[in-house]
Amino acid sequence: MPPAENPLEHSHTPEAIARRLENGPSVSYLRDWVYGGIDGAVTTFAIVAGSIGANLSPAIVLVLGVANLLADGFSMAAANYTGTKSELEDFRRLHRIEEKHVRVDPAGEREEIRQIFLAKGIDGADLDHIVRILTSRPAVWIDTMMREEYGLAAAVRSPMRAALATFAAFVLCGSLPLLPFVLQLPATGTATTVLTGSAFFLIGSIKARWSTRHWFASGVETTAIGLAAAGIAYFCGHILQGLFA
């Protein structure tokens, strides 16, 4: 029995295993949320910081920020949709190729299976048994070739869900730097910096849930990246405002 202070991530009873396998592999949209959230906060905060550095009025800052929020958010979502759809189409193309090869040249595909598992250190009667079992089931045979030859799993991501996750995260996190201007808070620059810095830290901390890094270190790293981008924009705006004033 595992120690109480280090529980396993999921149960290994026969019933729990059967339920988990019946549901199939999960498809994660974590990277879309993280990418959209960080880019939304960084991009909008950079525009706000650059506008403040150029001494633009709060109304102009708000107009520029909202325009960027919607246009850039849609652009990112559309790009992610196109990229994910291309991955899906490539998966289907390669799957059709393997189906054809198994049908037209089964001996050659059987030899590929043999060499794949031979490279894993399996040989002799065990290798013959694995090859015979796998190649007797065409669906399993093709899935194995997709995974071992191309590094592609059967679980594929939905282009629409990936795009929606990116857009939602971009707009949600990108709205935070604009909130002090919408509420007409005093010292909007300071309020925006604190609010957006907190958002960066929160995104990084949540991201650590799916990694081996400590949540605090991940939060600090994300905050540093975001504030560095904003700092560059602020000083560029300040310098250009001085040149063209």
Q: What is the mean pLDDT of residues 202-218?
A: 83
User: Is residue 150 over pLDDT 80?
Assistant: yes
pTM of this structure: 0.75
User: Which stretches of the chain are DSSP H helices?
Assistant: 14-23, 30-53, 58-104, 106-118, 124-135, 138-150, 159-174, 179-182, 188-207, 215-244
Residues 6+ apart with CB under 8 A from 160: 81
Of the listed ranges 2-11, 157-166, 176-185, the least confidently predicted one is: 2-11
Q: 142 or 231: which carries more pLDDT confidence?
A: 142
Per-residue confidence band for 1, with pLDDT thresholds at 50, 70 and 90: very low
pLDDT of 101-140, one tens digit each?
Answer: 999 999 999 999 999 999 999 999 999 999 999 999 999 9
With vertex at residue 49, the alpha carbon angle to CA 45 and CA 55, rounded to the nearest 5 degrees, is: 145
Rounded to whole angstroms, the Cα distance separating 173 from 206 reads 13
Distances (CA, A) of 180 to 24, 173, 193: 45, 14, 10
User: Is residue 226 over pLDDT 60?
Assistant: yes
User: Is residue 25 over pLDDT 50?
Assistant: yes
Q: What is the mean pLDDT of residues 2-26?
A: 65
Quick one: which of 190, 201, 196 has its CA closest to 174? 196
Per-residue confidence band for 235, with pLDDT thresholds at 50, 70 and 90: confident
The conformation of residue 21, written as its DSSP 8-state character, comes to H
pLDDT of 61-110, one tens digit each?
Answer: 888 889 989 999 999 999 999 999 999 999 999 999 999 999 999 999 99
- Radius of gyration of the chain from Cα atoms? 25
The conformation of residue 12, written as its DSSP 8-state character, comes to -
